[in-house]
Structures are given as C-alpha cells and as structure tokens.
Structure 1
Amino acid sequence: MTATHNSLPASPKFVVTEETPCVEWTVERGRFLLRGADTRGLFSLFEVTTPPGSGPPFHYHRHTDKAFYVLEGCYDIQVGESLHRTAPGGVVYAPRGIGHGFRNVGDAEGRMLFVTTPGGAELMFEGLADLLAGPGPADRGRIAELVEAHDTVHLEQPPATRVGGTR
C-alpha cells in the first residue's frame, strides 16, 4: 500500500514533468512526480489530468490524507458535505476518514497536483491502469480488491452545500 519510511535520509530528486511517463486509468491520466519510494514513504506528489465532466467516485481513505492544487481548469471538489468551486491556484485538503471527490466542471481538460500522505498512492493508479489495459471489459471484482487494498472505500455521495470557491 505505502512505501515504508526509515531513518535514512531520502535522496534528492529532480523532476521535469514533461519527461515523466504518463499513466492512463479510466478517463484520467497522471504523472507520478515524487513517488512514495522517493520520499521514504512520507508523501507522493502527482499531476492528474481530467476530461470535462469527469472525476472519481466519492470515496475516502482510512489512512491517507490528500491535498488538491488546481493548475488548469475548474473543478467542483467535495469534502464531506462541503463543495468548493476551485479554479487555478486553489487548494483543497481532504483529511483521512472524510469522503471526497471532484468533477471537472470546465469545458476543457483540467489539471491538478495531488499530494498524498503517506506516500504510495501511485501504486493503486498503476495497478488500475494495468487492469484496464487488458482486452475486453475490466474485471470489477479485481478492481474492487485493488482499491480496497490501497486504502480506498467508495461511498454514496451525500448532498453538498457550496461553501466557497475561487471562481
């Protein structure tokens, strides 16, 4: 699920986003800029590109905190029952144990940076990409097992109250 931290310092790493391989899962794609293995399991940093009208099912993580930083586009990001319309430069924090999800509400692809702590969230997305890459329909049972193994629980989305926004 996550990389393990130890007492050894992490090695410095320099990343150029455009040179980082792109991984596609469902209709989203991402670039894993700092992986859990790069940070001794402390956090992961990755960029996610989302088509208009798209986003993940409402869910929560038992042991993982997540921050969203919008780079391009406009997103509705829901955390619990609070809905935030978030434009470039906006940040939303989703603590562990609280349901969250997002939807690209713009007319073009949107991009966000995600920070997850502890690190290792990229392993779920890579596993999902592998499961979806095969011929024919994806095995929903294997997807459910993968998601559960990586600290994610899908929820019914509660009604939301718009509480703020950057647009």
Structure 2
Amino acid sequence: MLSRKSFLTGTGALGGLLLFSRPSLSMPEAAPHLAPFMARPALGNSYWYIGHLLSILIKATDTNNLFSLLKMTEVKGLEPPPHTHTREDEIFMVLDGSIEFSVGGKTYQATAGDSMFLPRNIQHAFKVLTDRAEVMILLTPGGFEQYFVEMSEPAPAMELPPPPAGAPDIARLIATSSRYGIRFPERPSGM
C-alpha cells in the first residue's frame, strides 16, 4: 500500500505541487448550468450556406462561449476568399475528401483523418480538391457560428442545396463578416 510519505517522496517536488496547488493555477470549472448532451446533424440545427450544408452541433451558448462545433459539407469551387479571423481560432478535421489549406505562407494538403489548426490573426484560405469534403470545424472561443446563421437559410432537407445561381451578395457578406471580426485583404487599386 502506498503511504502519503512514499507518494510525496516518490513524486518529488512535482507531487507536492500537484497535491497543494492553488485553485487559481488549475483549470476553471465548468459553469454550473452546463450539462452534457449529444448532438447530430438534423433539420433543427442545419443550414444551407452559399451552396454548402452546415450543421451547428454545439453552439457557444452551450459551452459558456468556450467553443462551438460545426459539421460542414464543403463544395469544390465555393470556398471563401483569403481571410483572417481576429476573434477565434479554427480547427478543421477532415472526415472525407481532400482540402488544400494555405496559411501563414505555407500550404498543407489534408485528407480524411487530418486536422488543420488555423490560428486567429493569420490569413488563411482553403481549396477543396475533391468534388466535396466533409469537415468538422471547432471554433474557439465560440460565437462565429452566428455568422453562418445570418448568412444562411434553414435547411429544408439534409442534403446539399442547389448550386448558387450566381455570386453571393458580396457587400452583405463583407458587412456581416466584419461584424464577426473577419478581415479580407485589401485589393490593389484599379482592380
């Protein structure tokens, strides 16, 4: 049987620190109103976003704004232009398909099982290399999922929407994006 003395002696100073650490050094506890739950894509949490099918599985309001989690079917040719998130980091986990990410002057090719970390304040873009790609997107802190709600329509079916008839309303897209801390590179004059 392990005694307190042999535990502290065996683990050295680290054991003492772990045993007697101040609460301010430990991870914050979850807010008391948070409760475990399970989510899956369904009509009540899914949207048609500029040719994509998007499901908001976990909202910022579910996690005390710590994160949000989305599942999205990305479609080749409908990717966003280069942009910078100023409020949240993104992590893309590729479930199916292939995506090329350009971030921080480097290019990464991700396939099923790969995860791509896109830190805030670093411009990035991505290109779907297959006809479509299924991804999970973790946003931390949460909140940016509301951009998608504003720019989408509720999905009437759990399938991709018809392809967009034309370009999205760029003025609306930029105005809405900017309210959520997204920056786009400035175009050179004359373009």
With the shorter chain as reference, the TM-score category is 0.7 to 0.9
1:152 to 178, 182, 190: 182
Structure with larger Rg:
2
Q: Using the alignment, how far apart are the partners of 2:88 and 2:104 within structure 1?
A: 15
Equivalent runs, 1:110-149 vs 2, <5 Å: 110-129=133-152, 139-149=169-179
Task: Determine the structure 2 residue equivalent to 1:21.
Answer: 45
Aligned residues of 1:29 and 1:50 also touching (Cα < 8 A): yes
Q: Using the alignment, how far apart are the partners of 2:120 and 2:83 within structure 1?
A: 10
1:78 to 89, 92, 102: 102
Structure 2 vs 1, CA of residues 52 and 116 (structure 1 numbering), >3 Å: closer, same or farther?
A: same
1:40 to 47, 54, 64: 64
Pairwise CA distance, 1:129: 1.3
Aligned residues of 1:53 and 1:105 also touching (Cα < 8 A): no
Divergent runs of 4+, >4 A: 136-139
Residue 88 (1) aligns with residue 118 (2): no
Task: Determine the structure 2 residue equivalent to 1:61.
Answer: 85
| Corresponding residue SS for 1:89 | coil
| Corresponding residue SS for 2:134 | strand
Higher relative contact order (CA 8 A, sep 6+): 1
TM-score, normalising length from structure 2? 0.69
Count of equivalent residues: 146
Q: Using the alignment, how far apart are the partners of 2:71 and 2:185 within structure 1?
A: 24
Pairwise CA distance, 1:78: 1.4
Task: Determine the structure 2 residue equivalent to 1:31.
Answer: 55
User: Which is helix-richer, 1 or 2?
Assistant: 2
Structure 2 vs 1, CA of residues 137 and 55 (structure 1 numbering), >3 Å: closer, same or farther?
A: closer
Please tell me the residue identity of whatever aligns with 1:67. Answer: I
Pairwise CA distance, 1:138: 5.7
Q: Using the alignment, how far apart are the partners of 2:169 and 2:126 within structure 1?
A: 24
Aligned residues of 1:13 and 1:38 also touching (Cα < 8 A): no
Question: Deviations for 1:18-64, whole angstroms, at most 9, x for unmatched residues?
Answer: 56532111122210000111111000100111122331111111121
User: Which is strand-richer, 1 or 2?
Assistant: 1
Question: Deviations for 1:73-124, whole angstroms, at most 9, x for unmatched residues?
Answer: 0000111211111000011101110011211111x32111100111011100
Aligned residues of 1:20 and 1:32 also touching (Cα < 8 A): no
Q: Structure 2 unaligned runs (5+)?
A: 1-29, 154-165
TM-score, normalising length from structure 1? 0.78
Q: Structure 1 unaligned runs (5+)?
A: 1-5, 131-135, 158-167
| Corresponding residue SS for 2:45 | coil
